[in-house]
A = this chain, B = another copy of it.
């Protein structure tokens, strides 16, 4: 994820070198795979296609690359699939010895719009430095060059900007050496529905491409470990690559650099050294508890759970400190993520997250600190009971904030929090399906929780239909990997002011594979 900006100056942070040493020892091996371009394409305006562009094949890549190129020549390579890694190319001069440097421009795109729409027009509010481009000046030919930065793309535009009139340029090879810390092998999907099988395939590729030295949110942007994404990635990892050490490493990274009061950050930088961001989110910090609980459930690694338990417990304490009469206090200056939505009031959904995570804390405490179970149980009862204050009988929905906002997020999270009995929860979800509030769902991240809530209420068929309608629509639009943002009604939506900067391989969108495999859909 990327959050509207939060900045804290003069923060005092605590660094636990022992925990960081454990994280460091768990640095994964990256597996590499060479991907060659398949074809050369043009982008053609098409109002029926995603973002208004479709690809038109010009030639097979291997045939095309046999020709020598001149200044002004430009072409778009389609690698056939989305990949993350290092671009290598081998080129030579055709003609006289090269008496001037070769100047090449590369533009990398996850989508066709990055090929068709000039980056110079970008007006979004996230840094344009995320737009993937590179100028290379080659002083010596022939050359075997691997660009220094990692890129994330399916499409590559190559422009021969300048040579000398005495030579042309010939490419011997252009390769994406893709990397991932996911192993090559993973269990097959047992679904029989071809559409679900395809959705699973795209979801697994999404996770694979986000699995690097940490679980990244998006390998194009922000390339970073976010707690909210980690929690969902860990679920899919459990039923596919089973790289539990990577989950463990990420938990230790969050634990290793915390705010003075013990709060874990929403995200972690790992280079040049491990450093927590100064973004703190109510919900994300709590998810440390759930992620640790899930890790323990899957691995049985009690010693890790016990070592990290105090940090998990501290997140609950800090969240509880925000409560008044058992309710999360709303205000203008707090931060909880829930969804990318400008108008969404976060109080009710955050209450749901708090209940959900205290419940997991109780279960962790049973293993790690039985003496704290009673306390946590009391707190759980307290905040769960308080949640009923948010219920609005007239609408049949939970309300949030002083303006009594009704949103999809509030319903979803209070159902996931198991507030009310099963019949009540089913009523809430049914009402949500029948009378969707205007404050809806913007991200696949919230959509994940929607599906989870449907399944919790036994609405299995509806869950499948929603997965197909949402993630299936991305597949129909040509997704190789699932996107950070997708609103079927507004395919150009970006909270950042430009679809060019959206991430099109995004961790929090990979969960259909978990639903399909875990629930045998």
Chain A residues with CB under 8 Å of chain B are 2, 5, 7-9, 71, 95-103, 125-130, 133-135, 137, 139-142, 149, 161-166, 221-224, 269, 271-272, 275, 277-278
18 CB-based A-B contacts, threshold 8 Å: A71-B127, A96-B278, A97-B275, A98-B269, A99-B222, A100-B221, A100-B222, A101-B127, A102-B129, A103-B128, A103-B129, A127-B165, A129-B137, A133-B135, A134-B135, A139-B149, A139-B223, A142-B272
A30 and B357 CA atoms in complex are apart in Å by: 64
4 A-B pairs besides A7-B96, A100-B126 with CB distance below 8 A are A96-B277, A97-B275, A101-B127, A129-B163
Instruction: Give A127's nearest chain B residue, CB to CB.
Output: B100
Instruction: Give A142's nearest chain B residue, CB to CB.
Output: B272
A71 and B129 CA atoms in complex are apart in Å by: 10
A97-B149 contact given A135-B134, A164-B127, A165-B125, CB 8 Å threshold: no
A149 and B102 CA atoms in complex are apart in Å by: 13
A149-B137 contact given A99-B222, A166-B7, A277-B96, CB 8 Å threshold: yes
Instruction: Give A268's nearest chain B residue, CB to CB.
Output: B97
CB < 8 Å neighbour of A166 from B5, B137, B166 = B5
A98 and B277 CA atoms in complex are apart in Å by: 9
Which chain B residues lie closer than 8 Å to A96 at the CB level?
Answer: 7-8, 277-278
Are B7's CB and A140's CB within 8 A? no
Which chain B residues lie closer than 8 Å to A2 at the CB level?
Answer: 99
Which chain B residues lie closer than 8 Å to A224 at the CB level?
Answer: 99
Main secondary structure of the interface of A (DSSP, over half): loop
Which chain B residues lie closer than 8 Å to A271 at the CB level?
Answer: 139-140
Instruction: Give A11's nearest chain B residue, CB to CB.
Output: B96
Which chain B residues lie closer than 8 Å to A103 at the CB level?
Answer: 127-129
Are B102's CB and A5's CB within 8 A? no
Q: Would you give the shortest CB distance from A95 to chain B, in whole angstroms?
A: 7
A149 and B71 CA atoms in complex are apart in Å by: 21
Which chain B residues lie closer than 8 Å to A133 at the CB level?
Answer: 135
A444 and B165 CA atoms in complex are apart in Å by: 26
Are A272's CB and B127's CB within 8 A? no
A161-B128 contact given A134-B135, A166-B5, CB 8 Å threshold: yes
Q: Would you give the shortest CB distance from A365 to chain B, in whole angstroms?
A: 33
A487 and B140 CA atoms in complex are apart in Å by: 33
Instruction: Give A105's nearest chain B residue, CB to CB.
Output: B135
Instruction: Give A278's nearest chain B residue, CB to CB.
Output: B96
Are B126's CB and A164's CB within 8 A? yes
Sort A-B residue pairs by CB-CB distance and give the 9 closest, nearest first. A100-B127, A103-B129, A129-B162, A101-B129, A140-B271, A128-B162, A127-B164, A127-B162, A96-B278
A223 and B98 CA atoms in complex are apart in Å by: 12
Q: Would you give the shortest CB distance from A496 to chain B, in whole angstroms?
A: 11
Which chain B residues lie closer than 8 Å to A149 at the CB level?
Answer: 137, 139
Are A165's CB and B100's CB within 8 A? no
A100 and B128 CA atoms in complex are apart in Å by: 9
Instruction: Give A98's nearest chain B residue, CB to CB.
Output: B269
Instruction: Give A138's nearest chain B residue, CB to CB.
Output: B129
Are B99's CB and A130's CB within 8 A? no
Instruction: Give A104's nearest chain B residue, CB to CB.
Output: B129
Which chain B residues lie closer than 8 Å to A163 at the CB level?
Answer: 127, 129
Q: Would you give the shortest CB distance from A53 to chain B, in whole angstroms?
A: 25
Which chain B residues lie closer than 8 Å to A100 at the CB level?
Answer: 126-127, 129-130, 221-222
Which chain B residues lie closer than 8 Å to A71 at the CB level?
Answer: 127
Q: Would you give the shortest CB distance from A163 to chain B, in whole angstroms?
A: 6
Which chain B residues lie closer than 8 Å to A125 at the CB level?
Answer: 165
A269 and B142 CA atoms in complex are apart in Å by: 13
A7 and B94 CA atoms in complex are apart in Å by: 12
Are A278's CB and B164's CB within 8 A? no
Which chain B residues lie closer than 8 Å to A128 at the CB level?
Answer: 103, 161-162
Which chain B residues lie closer than 8 Å to A166 at the CB level?
Answer: 5, 7
A110 and B12 CA atoms in complex are apart in Å by: 47
